[in-house]
Structure 1
Amino acid sequence: MRASQRARGEDVALVDSLLSADERRRSSGVRFDELRAEQKALGKLIPKASGDEKAELLKKAGQLAADVKAADAERDEADARTQELLLQLGNIVHPDVPVGGEEDFVTLETHGELRDFAAEGFEPKDHLELGQLLGAIDVERGAKVSGSRFYFLTGVGALLELALVNAAIAQATAAGFTPMLTPALVRPQSMAGTGFLGQAAQDVYHLDKDDLYLVGTSEVPLAAYHMDEILDAERLPLRYAGFSPCFRREAGSHGKDTRGIFRVHQFDKVEMFSYVRPEESQEEHRRLLAWEKQWLTSLELPFRVIDVATGDLGSSASRKFDCEAWIPTQGKYRELTSTSDCTEYQSRRLSIRFREGKTVRPLATLNGTLCAVPRTIVAILENHQQADGSVRVPEVLRPYLGGREVLEPVAK
């Protein structure tokens, strides 16, 4: 755990503080048990005593009751402190994860060819200009209604979102996932249990009056779906594909990706989520990545797969792979999907276990974005644009767009 904290760039001393707190929790528990046993034994002697002996025993019983109450309070306080520190720790990093920060990832593979727009004789437009030509994106009225980083998808933009969601859910269903429409508001224990109230807390919207959180991903309600349950081993793996609105404050991203709809406060997303035996989590992680690659390939997008470095994992992930699509006007790859192996980290915090024979133990949870809609629209518009401002529709989406092969600019 110390090595994992060090690799993440987190506080190593937290481990020692936790061990110290846990020792206090254990010793205070023993102390309480000893005093409680003594109190029970004394309780049996009092009815048999009389006179001065009984008075002395009653006096001792009164003091013992006060000691038991104090020991109980100390035990509860020590347990609360231990849990508080435990919740601050990130998951143990997989040994193969590259060590470092955001730029220290390792590229695992690259797919598709980058278009040479110069050879085609035109300068590519960015997604916002294309979206405006198509009558698909309106950020000015989004800002007027809700503020910066909000938007309207209009006309073919709205239809394109619905096509993407339906196509993504169709792929997930064909792969054996159960489709889910999940709540957008969750209780604190759901958010904390999935690991989003630690280092990610600054990005979370909180409704103080109701003490509810707006989810930044349907991973949260999907992880908490089986909270406090014991599942039968025969039911595993369990795979869900959740569709939900997602809300993120994007704290610390001021001045970053401010143009268009790449980085916004509200968006829709299709998320894959798996419950598996712990020993099968790495294999399931590769499966989730394969389904993401299948999806991006079907959209005919050039992309690469990276092994995310330790400092950019997020607290719940032991290992994370990102698929980054090429964005022509930015001249670089940008994250479109991500899949994380959270091992037993979330299931322990949410008390989700499985029974195999007489054994009951925590299971492993994994998540994988299939389609974060706005970013996928960005990649589609820019990579499939044509010289006249129209956009070719990938074949996989055409059945969900009434057979439309091209999105045409609208009259001004």
Structure 2
Amino acid sequence: MIDPKLLRDEPDRVRAAQAKRGLSDDVVDRALSADSARRAAIVEFERFRGEQKQLGKLIPKATGDEKVALLEQTKKLAASVKEAEAAQAAAEEEWSTALRSIPNVAADETPAGGEDDFVILETVGTPRDFAAEGFEPRDHIELGKLLGAIDIERGAKVSGSRFYFLTGVGAQLELALINLAMDQAREAGFTQMIAPSLVKPRAMEGTGFLDQAADDVYRVEGQDLYLVGTSEVAMAAYHSDEILDGATLPRRYAAFSPCFRKEAGSHGKDTKGIIRVHWFDKVEMFVYTTLEDAAAEHERLLAWEKEFLNKLELAYQVIDVAAGDLGPSAMRKFDCEAWIPTQGKYRELTSASNCTDFQTRRLDTRGRFEDGTKPIATLNGTLCAMTRTIVAVLETHQQADGSVRVPEALRPYLQGREVLEPLGG
């Protein structure tokens, strides 16, 4: 959640941030009103409690009718205290609910608007001109069949639409990508992690995924557990209710986990192939750092993502995501979008988000520094989301005969193979 001090001291800044996201600023007034009511309720409760304590000191010294009167007064005061305590609890709950309904304040640099209002920061590489090479590119579905790499029909038979099997070289390609990503992360100083895909409600709510994205989350019926859509959720909760030594920051983790998404609202979009699926594996970078260093760490995460895409020899663009397309936790987000030849456009492959202290305030994670204990920041960045990366690699590096050239950086993880050959080829 946002810093309550920011809301009290700079409400117009919060209102402007709401407008930048295309959201109503009514919640700001509601939160300020709830804060005033909460403070008044605290004062009222403390007043009654003070009177109750004062009476408690007088009763042992009183006798006769005076003592009877004081006891009667104490009984009435106890009811008032109980009522004031309930009113304070209700006011606290209303304040907390209102505060939690306000998303992170978008950075000044974040473009205003919605999904289509992003700003292109950089374009890397040049998309292949297949016409100049004399052949029409095949899509990843056809290539997957030729290579014996992707089985969508049996995925649908076993699990339903938007599921798949990776088979043969398809499975080997995913494992190669995982190992390449994990090796890069380890060499950059990240601690490698295997994170759980099932988490408690507090982890999901603490990261903001039960706010705007609740419809896209799988809940396990009959159990107080959710399936994560990213290991960001588990990693943000990893240090919940802890005070970290500031000298140990930044703490960088690279977590592998399966991810699950309902893809709510995507009816009719990417219904074929493995671009948009209900389950995929991912290597996610997650960082705890100081608020002062968060912006610089955000740039570093983006640089590591670009390094990985460069190793895969992909053409891509980097965009600054508009405020209305940010999740509630992020104040700024960079996406790397790879060129998908058969779609003739760039598609998101990685994201890097700066969440400042939004998640750590919800999950009660702080840092201990020489000048005291204070909030810290979290950031997350996709290093490799498997299915979309496989799509980009297959389509980008395909050859006229249906084979696929293996990027040089991946070859050591594929037993030195330079080319993935069609079955029977």
The TM-score by the shorter chain falls in which range? Answer: over 0.9
| 2:323 corresponds to 1:310 | yes
| 2:307 corresponds to 1:294 | yes
* Aligned match of 1:28: 41
Matches of 2:207 and 2:198 in 1, distance apart? 14
1:161-192 per-position Cα deviation (integer Å, ceiling 9, x unaligned): 00000000000000000000001011111111
Secondary structure of the equivalent of 1:95?
A: coil
Moved more, 238-247 or 37-46: 37-46
1:134-179 per-position Cα deviation (integer Å, ceiling 9, x unaligned): 0010111111111100000000000000000000000000000000
Match of 1:338 among 327, 330, 351: 351
Report the alpha carbon displacement of residue 11 of structure 1 after superposing the two structures with TM: 2.0
Q: Aligned ranges for residues 72-83 of structure 1 at < 5 Å?
A: 72-83=85-96
Report the alpha carbon displacement of residue 334 of structure 1 after superposing the two structures with TM: 0.4
Secondary structure of the equivalent of 2:293?
A: helix
1:305-347 per-position Cα deviation (integer Å, ceiling 9, x unaligned): 0000011011011000000000000000000000000011111
| 2:223 corresponds to 1:204 | no
* Aligned match of 1:403: 416
* Aligned match of 2:192: 179
* Aligned match of 1:131: 144
Matches of 1:411 and 1:251 in 2, distance apart? 40
1:196-246 per-position Cα deviation (integer Å, ceiling 9, x unaligned): 110011110011311111000000111111001111111000000000000
Match of 1:113 among 126, 135, 141: 126
Q: Tell me the TM-score normalized by structure 2.
A: 0.96
1:11-35 per-position Cα deviation (integer Å, ceiling 9, x unaligned): 2000100111111111111111111
* Aligned match of 1:281: 294
Matches of 1:81 and 1:294 in 2, distance apart? 46
Moved over 3 A (4+): none
* Aligned match of 2:368: 355
* Aligned match of 1:6: 19
Q: Aligned ranges for residues 244-263 of structure 1 at < 5 Å?
A: 244-263=257-276
| 2:160 corresponds to 1:147 | yes
* Aligned match of 2:179: 166
Root mean square deviation of aligned Cα: 0.9
* Aligned match of 2:252: 239
Matches of 2:260 and 2:124 in 1, distance apart? 30
Matches of 2:209 and 2:170 in 1, distance apart? 31
Please tell me the residue identity of whatever aligns with 1:387. Answer: A
Matches of 2:24 and 2:287 in 1, distance apart? 30
In structure 1, the gaps of 5 or more residues are none
Matches of 1:387 and 1:45 in 2, distance apart? 96
Please tell me the residue identity of whatever aligns with 1:100. Answer: G
* Aligned match of 2:391: 378
Matches of 1:64 and 1:175 in 2, distance apart? 63
Match of 1:324 among 333, 337, 340: 337
1:278-326 per-position Cα deviation (integer Å, ceiling 9, x unaligned): 0101100000000000000000000000000011011011000000000
Matches of 2:341 and 2:371 in 1, distance apart? 56
* Aligned match of 2:65: 52
Report the alpha carbon displacement of residue 10 of structure 1 after superposing the two structures with TM: 1.4
1:107-146 per-position Cα deviation (integer Å, ceiling 9, x unaligned): 0110111111111111000001100110010111111111
Matches of 2:328 and 2:24 in 1, distance apart? 13
Secondary structure of the equivalent of 1:330?
A: coil
Matches of 1:11 and 1:137 in 2, distance apart? 45
Matches of 2:258 and 2:264 in 1, distance apart? 18
1:369-408 per-position Cα deviation (integer Å, ceiling 9, x unaligned): 0000000000000000000000011111111111111111
Please tell me the residue identity of whatever aligns with 1:365. Answer: T
Secondary structure of the equivalent of 1:278?
A: coil
* Aligned match of 1:42: 55
Matches of 1:86 and 1:187 in 2, distance apart? 22
Match of 2:105 among 92, 108, 127: 92
Match of 1:223 among 236, 249, 264: 236
In the alignment of these two chains, the number of paired residues is: 412
Please tell me the residue identity of whatever aligns with 1:150. Answer: F
Q: Tell me the TM-score normalized by structure 1.
A: 0.99
Report the alpha carbon displacement of residue 358 of structure 1 after superposing the two structures with TM: 4.1
